[in-house]
Structure 1
Amino acid sequence: MAFPACVQCGTRENPCRCKFIGPTLGFVAFLVTGVIEWPVGAVVYLFRHRKGRRIMGHPSRVVYPRVSRAIPI
């Protein structure tokens, strides 16, 4: 069984110009928050459309970029 990994090349954040750990941990954090926030967002969407969309988009707009940028390797 293969472990899913994310690689980002061409970055200037480290001497190797490739990131492996940051994007992979960002993806894992994205999945964990998505499992929690998407069902909550779907329920909220029934009553408040904009708020529900914002909740469901939170993992991709906030969580993944912050975790990915926090780890420069």
Structure 2
Amino acid sequence: MGSFVCVECGTRRNPCRCRVFGPTLGCVAFLVTAVVCWPVGAVIWICSHAKGRRIMGKPAAVVYPKVSNCLPI
């Protein structure tokens, strides 16, 4: 299994203007949450399309930004 690193440059939140740890942890949290949310959202989507879409979108809309923004580096 290969390793991956997410880099976000051009930010003004730290002196080096690049972030590595926040986006990388955000990506890992996104993947872990997606493994749970997407199957659950797919099952709920059968009965309620709007609620199923909200659940399946939660990793990208909520989890990744919160985890990525908690670390300024």
**In structure 2, what residue type is equivalent to 1:25?**
L
1: CA distance between counterparts of 2:49 and 2:18?
39
Q: Structure 1 unaligned runs (5+)?
A: none
2: CA distance between counterparts of 1:39 and 1:56?
8
1:59 aligns with 2:37: no
> How many residues are matched?
73
**Residue in structure 1 matched with residue 21 of structure 2 by the alignment:** 21
TM-score by structure 1 length?
Answer: 0.97
1:27-46 to structure 2, matched below 5 A, reads 27-46=27-46
Identity %: 64
SS at match of 1:58: helix
Deviant stretches of 4+, over 2 Å = none
**In structure 1, what residue type is equivalent to 2:17?**
R
Cα displacement (A) at 1:7: 0.1
Cα displacement (A) at 1:2: 3.6
**Residue in structure 2 matched with residue 8 of structure 1 by the alignment:** 8
2: CA distance between counterparts of 1:12 and 1:44?
40
1: CA distance between counterparts of 2:3 and 2:49?
36
The root-mean-square deviation of aligned C-alpha atoms, in Å, is 0.8
2: CA distance between counterparts of 1:13 and 1:69?
10
Q: Structure 2 unaligned runs (5+)?
A: none
